[in-house]
Structures are given as structure tokens and as C-alpha cells.
């Protein structure tokens, strides 16, 4: 009997390698697919004006029908779009460290980070590492790998994708209630950007969604706390999809 398929979508400026700790814990029970989003990793750069729909349709061909779709940060917005517009691909939807319905202050904060990236790409990468990893016990080698991935981006392509990340929650928000598959939302207690409050907002917007907040964790849950993430995910899939 074939294993159920889990597809893991990474965040902005990252690539499929960020999922290695999580994928290793899932591999015994699931067929795990970790594609690169357009403009990331092995994919060519994207052009200015790229949209959430472009990113989603650009990765849809790598997602088998009926997959358990897990998106992290920007990848969560892509996953939500696919659950709405390509429902045949999505058996369940898990949003990890996802933004949702940013307030005016939250939107101003992310747009300020975008302006930092436009002005000084290297400084933006350093600020991301600080926001994601400061105060955690993540191995320094992982922090260095994340830094190398960020700095390897084509800057213009990164900025185009970051603009999607900064704005697409407003585009998705009015339609989230139409998502018809089982849903889970997970974030870290100390995530300053994809806050527990945002995860609770997302759970309220998605029919029947469960919110999970991982104590003491920051943004990079798949690297910092893969065991806790996999525990939440496999419990959810066992209860909702019987896998």
C-alpha cells in the first residue's frame, strides 16, 4: 500500500532544504515532496509584479492530487491559495507560521521590512536571521545554512516575492471561509511576525480549523522545533484524514 503524500512549501527567500529536519521525521510514514517555489532555490528568478497566483500555479504541477499540503510563511499563503483554487490537489491544509488579516500596524511593520530589503539586501537578511533565531538553541550550522540560502537569492526576485508575502493575506482573507478541506494552523509562541494572534485569526477564518501554539518557539518551527511540528501534523492527519 502506497504512503500518503505530504507536500511541504517553504517560506520567502528560502528553499526546499529548510524542510530537512521535518521531512526526516515524516519519511517513514509519508511520501514527502519538497518543491522549490518559483523564484527560489533551483528555480529561475521571477519578474517584478509576480502574484500569489503566479507562485501557486508555478508549483502546482509538482503537487499530486489529494496531497496533504503544508505551507510555511509565504508557503502557507501559497497553500491557502491552492486549497481555494486547485482543491483537487489538496486533501488537507496545514498553515505553519502563517500571517493572516494583518492589522494596520502589522502591515506597516512588514512594509518597513520590505523597504529595508530594497535599500540593503544584506542588512535585511541579517535582520531576518535575528528575528527568526535569536534566543533559540538552533545549531549555528543551521543558522549559517539559512543565511547562505537568503544571500544566494537574486535580490530583485526576492523583493518581488516579498511584496507578495507582504500583501497577499489581504487578498486571501475574504475567501478563506470557502476552503472545504480539514485545516490546521500552527505557530510559535514567540514568533514576532506570524504571531499566535494571527494563527487564532486564521483558525477563526477557516471552517473547523484547529490552532496550535508551540511554547517557547520562534518563526522557524520546521528547523527549531521539528518534533513538535510533526507531532501536531501527524495527530491532525490521523484524526482528520485517518493516515
**pLDDT tens track for 115-163:** 999 999 999 999 999 999 999 999 999 999 999 999 999 999 999 999 9
Instruction: Kindly give the residue spans of alpha helices, DSSP state H, lying in 2-120.
Output: 20-26, 52-60, 74-85, 104-119
**Res. 241 pLDDT band, cuts 50 70 90:** confident
Q: pTM of the full predicted structure?
A: 0.98
* Across 86-115, average pLDDT: 97
CB 13 within 8 A of CB 128: yes
DSSP state of 131: H
Count CB atoms within 10 A of the CB of residue 44: 10
For position 242, what pLDDT does the model report? 82
What pLDDT digit, counting tens, does each position of 5-41 carry? Answer: 999 999 999 999 999 999 999 999 999 999 999 999 9
For residues 69 and 7, is the Cβ–Cβ distance under 8 A? yes
Which SS3 state, helix, strand or coil, does residue 207 take? coil
Rounded to whole angstroms, the Cα distance separating 184 from 202 reads 9
Amino acid at each position: 500500500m502506497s504512503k500518503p503524500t505530504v507536500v511541504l512549501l517553504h517560506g520567502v527567500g528560502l528553499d526546499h532544504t529548510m524542510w530537512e529536519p521535518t521531512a526526516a521525521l515524516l519519511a517513514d510514514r509519508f511520501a514527502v515532496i519538497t518543491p522549490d517555489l518559483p523564484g527560489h532555490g533551483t528555480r529561475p528568478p521571477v519578474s517584478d509584479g509576480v502574484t500569489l497566483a503566479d507562485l501557486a500555479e508555478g508549483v502546482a504541477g509538482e503537487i499530486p492530487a489529494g496531497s496533504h499540503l503544508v505551507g510555511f510563511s509565504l508557503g502557507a499563503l501559497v497553500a491557502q491559495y491552492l486549497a481555494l483554487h486547485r482543491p483537487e490537489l489538496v486533501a488537507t491544509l496545514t498553515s505553519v507560521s502563517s500571517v493572516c488579516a494583518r492589522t494596520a500596524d502589522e502591515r506597516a511593520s512588514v512594509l518597513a521590512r520590505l523597504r529595508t530589503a530594497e535599500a540593503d539586501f544584506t542588512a535585511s537578511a541579517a535582520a531576518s536571521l535575528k528575528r527568526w533565531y535569536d534566543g533559540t538553541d538552533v545549531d549555528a550550522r543551521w543558522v549559517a545554512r539559512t543565511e547562505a540560502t537568503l544571500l544566494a537569492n537574486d535580490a530583485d526576485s526576492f523583493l518581488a516575492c516579498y511584496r507578495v508575502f507582504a500583501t497577499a493575506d489581504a487578498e486571501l482573507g475574504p475567501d478563506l471561509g470557502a476552503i472545504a478541506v480539514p485545516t490546521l494552523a500552527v505557530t510559535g509562541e514567540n514568533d514576532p511576525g506570524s504571531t499566535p494572534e494571527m494563527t487564532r485569526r486564521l483558525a477563526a477564518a477557516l471552517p473547523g480549523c484547529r490552532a496550535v501554539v508551540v511554547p517557547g518557539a520562534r518563526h522557524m518551527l520546521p528547523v527549531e522545533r521539528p518534533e513538535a511540528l510533526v507531532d501536531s501534523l501527524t495527530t491532525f492527519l490521523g484524526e482528520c484524514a485517518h493516515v
